[in-house]
């Protein structure tokens, strides 16, 4: 009974990587052409679960918006806005804080990773993050959420919250949202360590390709990417125990919109000295126009603010009646 609707968000916590692009942004742009409503959010309320310098947060929010647009998300086709500008997210999150159970939250592995050894000193917001994420999604009755693999557990919690709310109040009000985790690059790994996720928070800049990197930097990072000394295997199965090779092949497949099988038919058996320049050319061709377009967009910040304000208005028009109805169901 729920109209298909896509929602996803990214934190404006400074810096976007090839992982964010292939795992999220590129797929967001593809989803908007599939004939469903697409809603994309800069989740600044999530960003402040760890300390953010206010001026940097303001800048990162605009830069993220520029990153969305430069990656092909069209603010005419998709709703593009900033989370804190639509108060209904935080309002629904409070209701969900009262639905979610402590035990569920304590099982979230991302909290354990992000809080580290000093969990007692983590913010309450970092602990409650997945309930806010559930609200981000369900305030639009979103049915599909394209995300990277790292968000799978949070999406399961979103489903648990919707199920419990519906059950506790005897309604069929919130959809049971489907995570959409597909393609070759749902988990892009570090270029320096095949066992770690590519991330903006990695101390080594060589471990990632940033959306703001220029052509030379992109090519250099791929040339220097860590690999084992063997040539590429001739078949896909040979990638199983070779995380660095697997990662570069996955990146190649995602950038060229091919399956891993198709890519391996072309490059299987090649030495890295031959494959890496192919990958570098492809990455430069796909990624450097994005960085150029981001800097162009960042020169007109008033226009970015205008896009975000307009998107917030459109988002609120969907969110407000759903919050009103939620309050009514709850007895408010
Ligand atoms: P980050 O993980 O970089 O802090 P977010 O948590 O805001 O950024 O994630 C934004 C989106 O990018 C999410 O859908 C997430 O799953 C995806 N993502 C982040 N890193 C990667 C990666 N290395 N590979 C694939 N997808 C990723
Ligand atoms: Na993440």
Written as tens digits, the pLDDT of the chain (332 aa) is 899 999 999 999 989 999 999 999 999 999 998 889 999 999 999 999 999 999 999 999 999 999 999 999 999 999 999 999 999 999 999 999 999 999 999 999 999 999 988 899 999 999 999 999 999 999 999 999 999 999 999 999 999 999 999 999 999 999 999 999 999 899 999 999 999 999 999 999 999 999 999 999 999 999 999 999 999 999 999 999 999 999 999 999 999 999 999 999 999 999 999 999 999 999 999 999 999 999 999 999 999 999 999 999 999 999 999 999 999 999 99
> Is 198 a known ligand-binding residue?
yes
CB 212 within 8 A of CB 14: no
Give the binding-site residues of ligand 1, using a 6 Å CB cut-off.
Answer: 10-11, 13, 19-20, 23-24, 147-148, 150-151, 185-188, 197-200
pLDDT for the residue 31: 95
Whole-angstrom Cα distance, residue 203 to residue 117? 18
> Is 301 a known ligand-binding residue?
no
Question: Is 56 a catalytic site residue?
Answer: no
Whole-angstrom Cα distance, residue 134 to residue 128? 10
What is the dihedral sign for C-alpha 7, 255, 210, 197? positive
* Cα atoms found within 13 Å of the Cα of residue 203, Cβ hemisphere only: 0
pLDDT for the residue 42: 98
pTM to 2 decimal places: 0.96
Question: Is 197 a catalytic site residue?
Answer: yes
* Residue 192 region by backbone torsions, left for phi larger than 0, else alpha for psi between -120 and 50, else beta: alpha
| Residue identifier of the C-alpha nearest atom 18 of ligand 1 | 20
> Is 201 a known ligand-binding residue?
yes
| Residue identifier of the C-alpha nearest atom 26 of ligand 1 | 23
> Is 145 a known ligand-binding residue?
no
Whole-angstrom Cα distance, residue 204 to residue 150? 20
pLDDT for the residue 35: 85
Whole-angstrom Cα distance, residue 41 to residue 80? 6
Ligand 2: centre distance to CA 156 (Å): 15
CB 191 within 8 A of CB 225: yes
For the chain, the structural domain boundaries read: 5-180+300-330, 205-296
pLDDT for the residue 33: 82
CATH topology (fold) of 5-180+300-330: Rossmann fold (3.40.50)
Q: From 1.10.240.10, 1.25.40.10, 3.40.640.10, 1.10.3720.10, which CATH number describes the 205-296 domain?
A: 1.10.240.10
Whole-angstrom Cα distance, residue 9 to residue 41? 4
| Residue identifier of the C-alpha nearest atom 9 of ligand 1 | 10
What is the number of the ligand closest to the CA of 190? 1
What is the number of the ligand closest to the CA of 208? 1
Whole-angstrom Cα distance, residue 46 to residue 28? 19
Catalytic residue, chosen from 152, 164, 196, 200, is 200
The DSSP secondary structure of 259-305, one letter per residue, reads: -HHHHHHHHTT--HHHHHHHHHHHHHHHHHHHHHHHHHHHT-HHHHH
Ligand 2: centre distance to CA 201 (Å): 10
Question: Is 114 a catalytic site residue?
Answer: yes
Atom of ligand 1 nearest to the CA of 151: 16
What is the number of the ligand closest to the CA of 151? 1
């Amino acid at each position: 009974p729920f109209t298909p609707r896509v929602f996803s968000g990214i934190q404006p916590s400074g810096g976007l990587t090839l992982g964010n692009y292939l795992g999220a942004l590129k797929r967001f742009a593809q989803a908007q052409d599939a004939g469903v409503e697409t809603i994309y959010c800069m989740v600044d309320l999530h960003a402040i679960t760890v300390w953010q310098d206010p001026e940097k947060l303001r800048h990162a929010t605009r830069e993220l918006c520029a990153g969305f647009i430069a990656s092909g998300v069209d603010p005419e086709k998709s709703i593009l806005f900033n989370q804190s500008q639509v108060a209904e997210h935080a309002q629904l999150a409070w209701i969900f804080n009262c639905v979610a159970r402590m035990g569920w939250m304590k099982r979230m592995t991302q909290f354990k990773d992000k809080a580290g050894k000093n969990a007692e000193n983590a913010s309450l917001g970092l602990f409650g993050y997945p309930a806010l994420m559930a609200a981000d999604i369900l305030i639009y009755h979103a049915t599909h959420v394209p995300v990277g693999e790292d968000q799978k557990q949070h999406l399961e919690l979103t489903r648990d919250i919707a199920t419990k709310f519906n059950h506790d109040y005897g309604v069929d009000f919130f959809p049971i949202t489907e995570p959409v985790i597909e393609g070759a690059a749902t988990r892009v790994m570090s270029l320096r360590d095949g066992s770690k996720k590519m991330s903006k928070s990695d101390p080594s800049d060589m471990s990632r390709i940033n959306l703001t990197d220029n052509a030379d930097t992109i090519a250099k990072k791929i040339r220097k990417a860590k690999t084992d000394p063997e040539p590429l295997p001739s078949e896909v199965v040979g990638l199983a125990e070779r995380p660095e090779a697997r990662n570069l092949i996955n990146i190649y497949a995602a950038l060229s919109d091919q399956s891993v099988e198709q890519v391996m038919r072309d490059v299987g058996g090649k030495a890295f000295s031959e494959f890496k320049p192919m990958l570098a050319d492809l990455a430069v061709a796909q990624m450097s126009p994005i960085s150029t377009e981001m800097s162009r967009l960042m020169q007109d910040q008033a226009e970015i603010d205008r896009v975000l304000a307009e998107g917030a208005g459109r988002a609120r028009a969907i969110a407000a009646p759903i919050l009103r109805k939620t309050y009514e169901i709850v007895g408010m």
